[in-house]
Amino acid sequence: VKIQLIDFVYVLAVAGLIVGGLIWLK
């Protein structure tokens, strides 16, 4: 499976939002 750079950046952005949201909720 070839992962495109834009997909990698998108995953990082989503992960960042999730982690940031969890930290903000605590």
Query: How does pLDDT run across 5-26, given as a tens digit for each residue?
Result: 899 999 999 999 999 999 998 8
Q: What is the pLDDT of residue 12?
A: 97
Q: Which position has the token pair 């070839």?
A: 2
pLDDT value at 1 more than 80: no
Q: What is the pLDDT of residue 20?
A: 96
Domain that holds residue 17: 1-26
Scanning 1-26, the segments in alpha helix (DSSP H) are 5-25
Residue type, 7: D
What's the domain count of the chain? 1
Q: What is the pLDDT of residue 26?
A: 83
